[in-house]
Structure 1
């Protein structure tokens, strides 16, 4: 595995941050057993029951992502199920405390917490990570050609809030109305990632606000939103695709969106931002 790909490929649910996997991760994953009922799901020996739960929701999860992304997966999906924290730690260096699902090298690894402590999150988190995997199959995992807010907003949108589920929309609106929200760069910088801490936001708040903004764009004109996603999946530059589709930069439309949220909680003589 190329080092650059590895560095950009690991997606941590807690922040979808990039981090290098173990050198022997591929070897470790080869020890997983394929589930007879659905070989796309592979599990640590002894974790077949967990794998069966994944297999039960995987087809619908894949369909959900493909519908939101407007395209099928470019390659077969593989999901690896860890039945123990030791398994997860072996395959995801240092990530056990922070993540519920990890994607690298076109593989998605699920932590046991999704089957023990947080079973209600299995389906939404699976969809969230499948969204990352879907883009990764076409553009390289967690590509820096697309800003983090778009990656996470799209994944949360596809998952109907999965990944952003620790913050509800009302709390996100209050926070944004108070002036605490992310903003896209004037020009997307493909050499650096801007995560939640850039705006001193909780990760789940960042995901929720990003999801709300993308949901707003989709509601404005789904045909344009669809065109944007397809162009990005074809490798178009982010700023060019966004402006060409919506007729304005992402920053301009985000300023308008968050200004309207503020006006919704105070008296505004007229709507702020772009018409």
Structure 2
């Protein structure tokens, strides 16, 4: 008799497990369906933003600058900002969708049109821009940049598009940073300015691709660095012959030499700390 009870007990346990498994499978299907619907809705919103931005850009393309056009342009930028605040969710930057401002400053080419679409916020000495992978890919569609396989020259161009509306960013060292799995991260040390010359590195940058968002971070180097004597000599020797040639060779020297200098590692660590604003 006891064996009958045992068999019945095992049958009941087996049935309960099957019910649990079926419930889990059903719950998983529902979650996947919800996620798929959320992704589809977000993609529609991103497409709406891109089309609105493009049509607005065409509208202002041949307009003459005056107070009326300036006010109209600002109103159009605020409309796009509202769209981005709704699209860039969720994000690893607290309240950026509430307090962040659109990175697109103007639609007039002569005063800085063409910045990378996204929301930008400022935390103490750091500028942080957030955009989505889709909007990023649309912005760089002509260049064909792939976030999981970016070259050094592309990194420089990406940061220039994000931050440099009235100055030039010149990379002197770009490197990949290993963080968590499925996260792409890059750092860059650069010479930023409106003029060229034997200047010392003065800016730090970080790029992080995490989940469906891309984060670009910028910070100035507050302390004055020591110049590399070899590079300074190269720049000074060629300056009278050709300013552009001297600048080119000066930057190439820094690219080759700076990572071997004692100043490099502290700056690399500072960039890694910047990344922690996004990846805890």
TM-score (norm 2): 0.28
- Pair member with larger Rg: 2
Report the TM-score when normalising by structure 1.
0.28
